[in-house]
Amino acid sequence: MSDPVNPSHYKAHPSGVEAIQITEHFNFSLGNCIKYIWRASLKHSNPLEDLRKAQWYLNREIERVEKNGE
pLDDT in tens, 60-69: 999 999 999 8
How far apart CA 32 and CA 11 sit, in angstroms, is 16
pLDDT in tens, 6-58: 767 777 778 888 888 999 999 999 999 999 998 888 877 889 999 999 999 99
Where are the domains positioned within the chain? 18-68
Instruction: Please tell me the pTM assigned to this model.
Output: 0.78
Helix (H) or strand (E) run with residue 68 in it: helix 48-68
Whether pLDDT at 4 is above 80? no
**pLDDT value at residue 1:** 60
* Long-range CB contacts for residues 21-29, cutoff 8 Å, separation at least 24: 27/61, 29/57, 29/58, 29/60, 29/61, 29/64
